[in-house]
Structure 1
Amino acid sequence: MNIAEVKQKKKRTIPGFGLTMGFTLLYLSIIVLIPLSMVFLNTFTMGFQDFWATITEPRVVASYKLSFLTALTAAFVNAVFGVLIAWVLTRYEFPGKRIIDGLVDLPFALPTAVAGITLTTLYSPNGWIGQFFSFKIAFTPIGIIIALIFIGLPFVVRMVQPVLENIEKGMEEASASLGANRMQTFIKIIFPELIPAILTGFALSFARALGEYGSVVFIAGNMPFKTEISPLIIMTKLEQYDYQGATAVATVMLIITFLILFTINILQWWTSKRYTGK
């Protein structure tokens, strides 16, 4: 096969590339780019002083801190326990495994408002679970973290699970034959393969938690400077017809979220290249 035939074959690998790429860019523009650009355009109609005064209000700054800290905490918890759940579902056979595997996807299907009401009922001071604790869970940042863990867990599990299934057991057997114990095999052989998937699941869980509203608004209690999240600030400004103020807060959230996700993606690329050579 000569060079011309190889190039022609490569061109035929994806039939209609120009057409499909055009539809892809059009679809992303309509669904993602244009709506996001309107947020920035609406914000630019404000003067810089008004914009700065809006995004630096003490109440708004407190909501930034609460939203990002709770989202990061929930994402870290999901990164740990999501890997554990994926490991159990992948490596062991036990009665009810299919049911548990299906329950992982429940937060995707359950309406967020229903999840919020349910969690509030469970963790309120008189709730089925909350009554056994000497401290409050609902209407505190702890309750917000629990709600964010609930809605973000499937992202980590579903990202890590296929990677675990595709790891060749021969590599683990070879490691054991060379004298490595189980922990050494996991750290040296398995964990490096999981790092890119864990980082991706962490990023998705964090992004989902940062913009969550329905499941958090009930259990948070929405007390200014204590349990008021940024999405609630945006909704409050919209209800007051302060569209510019709402888009200003949304713009700050978008910029900070983009920077964090960009950093995570760079870290994911670096770890993937270092440990897997891809």
Structure 2
Amino acid sequence: MNKKGKGRAGRKGVLPGFGLSLGFTVFYLSVLVLLPLSTIFINTAGMGWEKFFKTIFDPRVVASYKLSFGSSLIAGGINTVFGILLAWVLVRYQFPGKKLIDGLVDLPFALPTAVAGIALTTLYVPDGWIGRFLGFKVAFTPLGVIIALTFIGLPFVVRMVQPVLQNLEPELEEASASLGAGRAQTFWRVIFPELLPAALGGFALAFARSLGEYGSVVFISGNMPMKTEITPLLIMTKLEQYDYAGATAIAAVMLVISFILLLVINLLQWWSNRRYLEN
């Protein structure tokens, strides 16, 4: 066998070749992602522009947009800050019960969202275990929605940041300290640039999960129109009323806005990663 034949044989792996792998990937994404999403726009297309705009700009629907997107952004921001802090503690310190706390981080993944919603509502109602000690109302307010979304989104940030912290060389911090930098300077100049792409990725995942969340929010929100009604609940309401076109119209708006926001977040993540590599 010539050297050329040996080279080709050496490049062969256990997995199928590029053509077969790409074909399976495209087929898989088409059946599970693109085809279902395309039906949203197909069902919406039969409404006509007048009815479409009347549906998506209804005051009740607009109020649900503001609550869903606003609370998701706020919850994502909270999760980013405290997710980095929690990941830092789990990676940098040794203490009794560390493995237990590390396991509890993934609890929102395993816990049914309806159970989480009932538990949070029980805690934060005015006569609940936590609500009775607060001087303000949490359950059945937008604040309750933010708490529910924070609960279900925290693991995304922690699990994105944790591996980066584990691979971060302690020598970088020691070198920064030896050059006279304080703890705050070391964090912002040395550690944070390393964490930023992962933190943005965790924020994007938490934000995306929060936008579509239903079970954990529907109980604690109270579902009051124009106040605490989230967009996924409105979609479910229209489906129960057999208004499939109206439901898909609202879903299409959510899909487009979510895609744009996630694209912006991914561009910021790419920009921060590129800027760090250039420096």
Shorter-chain TM-score range: over 0.9
* Superposition pairs of residues 1-278 of structure 1, within 5 angstroms: 8=8, 12=12, 15-277=16-278
CA distance in 1, matches of 2:246, 2:272: 39
CA distance in 2, matches of 1:73, 1:83: 16
CA distance in 1, matches of 2:6, 2:108: 47
Q: Is the 8 A contact 1:148 1:216 kept in 2?
A: yes
CA distance in 2, matches of 1:126, 1:115: 18
Change (3 A) 1:240 1:19: same
TM-score (norm 1): 0.95
Q: Is the 8 A contact 1:193 1:276 kept in 2?
A: no
Deviation of residue 20 (structure 1)? 1.4
- Cα deviation code 1:112-142 (max 9, x no counterpart): 0000000000000110000111211000000
CA distance in 2, matches of 1:100, 1:117: 22
Change (3 A) 1:126 1:204: same
Q: Is the 8 A contact 1:122 1:128 kept in 2?
A: yes
Q: Point out 4+ residue stretches in structure 1 off by more than 6 angstroms.
A: 3-7
* Percent sequence identity over aligned pairs: 67
SS across alignment from 2:242: coil
Q: Is the 8 A contact 1:54 1:245 kept in 2?
A: yes
CA distance in 2, matches of 1:12, 1:258: 37
- Cα deviation code 1:155-182 (max 9, x no counterpart): 0000000000001111112222222222
Question: What is the one-letter code of the residue matched to 1:225?
Answer: M
CA distance in 2, matches of 1:11, 1:126: 67
Unaligned stretches of 5+ in structure 2? none
TM-score (norm 2): 0.95
CA distance in 2, matches of 1:88, 1:149: 19
| Equivalenced residues, count | 276
Deviation of residue 8 (structure 1)? 4.6
Change (3 A) 1:52 1:272: same
Q: Is the 8 A contact 1:234 1:246 kept in 2?
A: yes
Deviation of residue 12 (structure 1)? 4.0
Unaligned stretches of 5+ in structure 1? none
